[in-house]
Structure 1
């Protein structure tokens, strides 16, 4: 099967297509045909050498796709099921294997490309909204980097809970993304504390 392989640390130019050995699901695992894989800082840090990994390796922890094979002992999943994960290894490949308890079903109304981009950012935003802080309806929260993936999802989660959201973003276009996500106000980083207090 084909996969993206990193043989040496560096910039994006070190990502190369290669033929690698087919993956098979072990007991308790699913074999997933990759529809899309997320690109997160972990992949960039591994590729560039910030995080040390054994070379060569196939990047990727987040992906969405279709179950093509079910390993021994797995119940509740069948070939054709659409799933997503943020805890896999080597998702920059045509197929990857993962423990069945590490995937979530993707509803029919959500395309797999979007589903591949949601798990890590969505789980982080949910954690921030429900565990790290406990904003109540009517309170005001400042979200930095409101136009980023986590910032946009966090804004939507907070607004849905009745929280007023202010965001920071570096450009007017990014500030508009924050507003489109539901922020009541978005402004640049310089002087943000004063702006938030207004």
Structure 2
């Protein structure tokens, strides 16, 4: 038997229970993984609330790391004892889990368990944004919201290595300092700041080439105004509230924007792409900067970890330690 955090029905964190389940034996093409830890992401919260529906009961968590303890028939690239990480498949809030073998990537010896368990999904998201949604090249200007957050901590230095110029937002002076440490050139501070005005001033009135917005409705209009004509707007989450004012007219001739709601889960669903993206994600995480990770919680405290992320009381990626 193994201990898992099980979601009985969509709704609040009170629907999460710490229970015992039989993990089963790995079938053909599967491994059984004894986990070190699992990352806590906004995807988990959206799934818990039913915004991204799952069959119930469900075990949340879409990234983690651990040691292979059993392999199924046909698995030849992994052995018992290998240390691996994965991203993009539910079931992470567990001491032990079954996993399609193609999802498991061997980790370099110098790559920490915590970074693997709580960084791979966001690094894969960064890859999707910078190489698929909008190909970032030298001179590209980027606006990213929540500049102290877990995604920004990876996107900003990666984009900077590609030659981009980055402006970020942050709610406090302390978070602004973290965004600057990540590599942002300028940070707009405060929930009531004139974001579009400051971005336009920073870009000599043009607007940015690429906007990455994980806040949602509170920043949507400012993000539109801050993006240059024929620029790209990626809505990667709605941490601050669902987009309710969105209209096709927002992307008409006046703005001439490309608007994306990209899914990293869909991006990682293709096995051939997955292998290449995860390898690049690991290299990007190793390149740093190695900023402090998010808070650690025991697996049994998954509800507290989700609440801290949902309420904006943490920076970085919360990690469930197993």
Q: TM-score, normalised by structure 1?
A: 0.91
Deviation per CA, 1:122-175, whole angstroms, max 9, x where unpaired?
111111111211232234322222222222211010111222211112221221
Deviation of 1:53 after TM superposition, in Å, equals: 2.9
Partners of 1:174 and 1:136 in 2: how far apart?
Answer: 27
Residue number in structure 1 paired with 2:231: none
**Whole-Å Cα distance in 2 between the matches of residues 94 and 55 of structure 1?**
20
| In 1: Cα distance, 2:88 partner to 2:198 partner | 39
Pairing 1:84–2:88 present: no
Q: Mind listing any 5+ residue stretches in structure 2 that lack a counterpart?
A: 203-322
* Residue of structure 1 equivalent to 2:197: 194
Q: CA deviation at 1:36?
A: 0.7
Matched residue of 2:171: which SS? coil
Per-residue displacement from partner, 1:65-111 (whole Å, max 9, x unpaired)? 11111111111211121111113332211111111111222222222
- In the TM superposition, residue 55 of structure 1 has moved relative to its aligned partner by 2.6
Mapped contact 2:68–2:79 kept (Cα < 8 A): yes
Residue 8 (structure 1) aligned with residue 9 (structure 2): yes
Seen in structure 2, the aligned counterparts of structure 1 residues 140 and 51 have a Cα distance that, compared at 3 Å, is closer
Q: CA deviation at 1:180?
A: 0.9
RMSD, aligned CA: 1.8
What is the Cα deviation at residue 61 of structure 1? 1.9
Aligned residue for 1:127? 128
SS at match of 1:118: helix
Contact kept? 1:89, 1:96, Cα under 8 Å: no
1:179–1:185 Cα contact (<8 Å) kept: yes
Alignment CA distance shift 1:46-1:133 (3 Å) = closer
In 1, Cα distance between equivalents of 2:89 and 2:160: 31
Q: Paired residues, what number?
A: 198
* SS of residue matched to 1:34: strand
Call closer, same or farther: CA 1:109–1:24 in 2, change over 3 Å: same
Structure 1: runs of 5 or more not aligned: none
Counterpart of 1:118 in structure 2 is 119
> Is the contact made by 2:62 and 2:121 (CA closer than 8 Å) also made in structure 1?
no
Q: C-alpha displacement at 1:121, in angstroms? A: 0.9
TM-aligned CA distance change 1:69 to 1:166, over 3 Å: same
In structure 2, what is the equivalent of residue 70 of structure 1?
Answer: 71
Name 2:144's counterpart in structure 1: 143
2-structure distance, mates of 1:57, 1:83: 23
User: How far off is 1:115 after superposition?
Assistant: 0.8
Partner-residue secondary structure (3-state), 1:123: helix
